[in-house]
Amino acid sequence: MGNVMIYLYEPVELTSRHGQRLVRRVDAHLPSVTTTSLRVGNRFRHPLLSIKALQTELNEIKKNQEKTNKSVVGSGLFALLEYERARHSVYLGTRSGAIYVLTPIRQQTFTRLGIVEKNIINFVSSNAGLVPRACRQYHYNIPSLTNPCGNVIDGDLIQRYLLIPHDVKVEVAKKSGQSVQSIMDDIADIGAISLHF
């Protein structure tokens, strides 16, 4: 039905040929055809509310800066705050009336929630026996020479973590190698970033 692909400008990546080509970072399948989209700036997180997350992201930016030998505009926390302001979410409206939200998250959060998503699938029964990850995978109409990227976490599935009983939450967290509180913090962080209306 509807495939979504997100490309990124990354001149340091080899496949981009020094910025001549865009690099595909995300591909996903939507059950209906997208007819409209709206880009909205993410809600700005005040640095006092999430110092730990901002400090982690600041360390990532410094590592990337050392690899590329490029200076980031400003330095330290100011550069990170400018980076936070530049993030946007995309709302997609479909023919069936559904609204999908695509929002960027930090790499560590993505990795942790990806593990949680896999374990939730094993512990929570799905509707009509359908595997949630299978319906979100990119579908090719014709054979493609590139591999699928994925890099998408199903927000509905992650939100189901809040609704499952506490003993199942503990079991999912244990299988994921995390604490229940850290998973809840990640979900709350995504919610705080994407509160637009």
Helix H, strand E, coil C: the string for 109-132 is HHHHHHHHHHHHHHHCCCHHHCCH
Residue 106 lies in a domain: yes
In the chain, how many domains are there?
1
- Tokens representing 36 are 């409209």
The residue ranges of the chain whose pLDDT is under 50 are 48, 51, 72-73
pLDDT of residue 77: 58
pLDDT of residue 170: 93
Residue 37 lies in a domain: yes
Say if residues 42 and 87 touch (Cβ distance below 8 Å). Answer: yes
Residue 55 lies in a domain: no
Residue 66 lies in a domain: no
- Tokens representing 16 are 């981009």
Residue 172 lies in a domain: yes
List the domain range (segments joined by +) for residue 17.
Answer: 2-42+87-193
pLDDT of residue 48: 46
What are phi and psi for residue 74, nearest 5 degrees?
80, -170
pLDDT of residue 177: 92
pLDDT of residue 72: 47
Fill in the DSSP letter of residue 86: T
Residue 23 lies in a domain: yes
Q: What is the residue whose two structure tokens read 């709302």?
A: 91
pLDDT of residue 51: 44
